[in-house]
Amino acid sequence: MKKTKLIALFLALGLSTAPAWAGEKEQLETLRQTTLNLIKALVQAGALTQAAADQLIRDAEKSAAQTVVAQGKAEAGVVRVPYVPEVVKQEIREQLKNEVVAQARSEGWATPGSLPSWLGRIAWSGDIRLRYQNERWADDNIPASQVLPFAPYGVNLASTTEDQKRLRVRARLAMQAKVSDNVSAGVRISTGTLDDPVSTNQTLGNNFNKYSLVADQAYLKLAPYNWLSVSGGRIPKPWLSTDLVWDEDISFEGVAATLKPQFRDDFSGFLTVGVFPVQHVAPSDTVSANNKWLYGSQVGLEWNAADTSKVKLGLGLYDYRNVEGIPNVLAGDHFYDKTQAGARQKGNSVVYVSAIGDPDLFGLASKFRELNLTAVVDVAAFDPVHVVFSGDYVKNLGFDQDEILRRTGDTIEPRTKGYQAKLTVGMPKMEKYGDWQVFTAYKHLERDAVLDAFTDSDFHLGGTDTKGYILGGSYGIDKNTWFTLRWLSADPIDGPPLAIDVLQVDLNAKF
């Protein structure tokens, strides 16, 4: 029975008259004759009766007819492609390749090896942020028209009581190039202005004029070993930090080196040292001011658990040189004019540099040598949800009340401490739809704890002598796209009455 069914199958194939190309028809006819000869041989050998053979042929012809009808319906509108031997395919590929290469060489647009190999080692990234910002000033703030109370602040505010709404945009485009196995380069351009080191925001509403772009970063990085790297130029922030001391958008000009010893698979350390020119002062017979520098160092430890939880600790010392103001002795002298503060937000204690009390020449009253302890604990036990706690403490060791009195003649009370605690719950990065994050923080930053020029520019709209809290959250609405809502409520600590609340609604996208 099995033999009969097998013969019927071959016979059905052999009798099929489905549409075919010329070569296929010859093959089918050969198969048909071979099948009929096989049946005839089986009858002659007595393995199959003539009646059974005739019935087998009739069944096969019927099955073949049904197959033809089915194939005809299935192949309506279908273009049949003839079989092409593999050797012919290979010949076609080689011929096409030779023709394309010959044309490329003759036209000079794709000769093999003509493009620099480093083009394949360049990576691009960037981000765009659209922001609605509502700044709410307390009604009992001291009016900006009363200039004298703000003189110790060293800042002139156009208004201290009128609320303001702004639309802002930030755009950044970065290039990372792997020059060699040990050398890389980075360049980042962004929106922003040349006179603001801590913000890359562009406020909308400039009569539709175009935005300026600035070179936010430009550096070379040498990494001859896994445990050593050296960067120079305008480099990314090299420290483990929060925005208590350093604004998130700040970049550093100078040279920094980092050592990363690995003690165990889950335990490592780091040591970063850097030298950064803050302000260059051209020498002259009438200029007694010196160049301003920052010498920074930070030592720290990092522990990584098996579940990707981690703990980071960093102890840093940021030592500024020649940033304090020195008053001129006689009216008309300008020897120390260049000791005025080169960049300011607000909050630091200041002194008059001009002997005649020129309100436009303020210098910092204190020297600054900031001792900074930073801790970050990232608990990933609930992955993908993380619980992250960060704490930051800073103390200005450079404040010396007696030294300030000798240099300036002013008696200034020490206000030299700052601290911040922040709790974040959610995904560590906003990468896809549905990712979320909520956070809260409390900040206390006394007026001479840090240089007010480089601290967070959003809380209290920048500067020191401020305390308060931050609430907010983020939610992913698409791949690498998310909304962020923040409420920053800040009050002065002991300076002039100046309470500021800020609402920020951001639409962020990165690529």
Q: Can you tell me the mean pLDDT for 8-25? A: 50
From CA 376, how far away is CA 378, in angstroms rounded?
6
Cα distances (angstroms) measured from residue 269 to each of 118, 262, 313, 315, 415: 33, 7, 9, 12, 33
d(CA 36, CA 17): 15
* Band (47; pLDDT cuts 50, 70, 90): low
> Cα–Cα distances in Å, from 445 out to 233, 354, 389, 410?
30, 29, 19, 22
Find, among 457, 497, 426, the residue nearest to 343 by Cα: 457
Q: Which residue has the tokens 């489905």?
A: 18
- For 179-224, what is each residue's pLDDT tens digit? 999 999 999 999 998 889 999 999 999 999 999 999 999 999 999 9
**Residues facing residue 321 across a β-bridge:** 293
Domain boundaries of the chain, sorted by first residue:
2-74, 117-510
Residue 195 burial (C-beta neighbours within 10 Å; 0-12, 13-18, 19+): exposed
- pLDDT class of 79 with cuts at 50, 70, 90: low
Strand partners, 295: 275, 319
Question: Where residue 131 falls among pLDDT bands split at 50, 70, 90?
Answer: very high
Q: Is 483 helix (H, G, I), strand (E, B) or coil?
A: strand
CA 122 to chain centre: 16
Residue 91 one-letter amino acid: E
Q: What percent of the chain has pLDDT over 90?
A: 63
> Which of 1-10, 233-242, 474-483 comes out lowest in average pLDDT?
1-10
440 Cβ partners below 8 Å, 6+ apart?
422, 423, 469, 470, 471, 472
Are the beta carbons of 221 and 228 closer than 8 angstroms?
Answer: no
Question: Any idea which of 50-64, 131-145, 488-502 has the lowest mean pLDDT?
Answer: 50-64
- Asked if pLDDT for residue 236 goes beyond 70, the answer is yes
Distances (CA, A) of 143 to 2, 140, 160: 105, 8, 6
β-strands 369-382, 385-396: how paired?
Answer: antiparallel
> For 258-270, what is each residue's pLDDT tens digit?
999 999 999 999 9
- Residues 6 or more apart from 409 whose CB is under 8 A from it? 327
Per-residue pLDDT tens over the stretch 433-469 = 999 999 999 999 999 999 999 999 999 999 999 999 9
Task: Check if the beta carbon of residue 16 is closer than 8 Å to that of residue 30.
Answer: no
**Per-residue pLDDT at 74:** 53
Parallel, antiparallel, or unpaired: how do β-strands 183-191 and 164-178 relate? antiparallel
Q: Is 153 helix (H, G, I), strand (E, B) or coil?
A: helix
Other Cβ atoms within 10 Å of 242 Cβ, number = 22
What value does the mean pLDDT take over residues 246-272?
Answer: 97
Does 432 score more than 90 pLDDT? yes
Q: 479: which DSSP letter?
A: T
Distances (CA, A) of 503 to 157, 272, 489: 20, 36, 9
Question: Which CATH class name applies to 117-510?
Answer: mainly beta
Note the pLDDT tens digit of each residue in 468-505.
999 999 999 999 999 999 999 999 999 888 999 999 99
Write down the pTM of the prediction: 0.77
Left, alpha or beta for 119 (phi > 0: left; psi -120 to 50: alpha)?
Answer: alpha
Stretch among 34-43, 162-171, 323-332, 350-359 having the lowest mean pLDDT: 34-43
pLDDT given for residue 6 in this prediction: 46
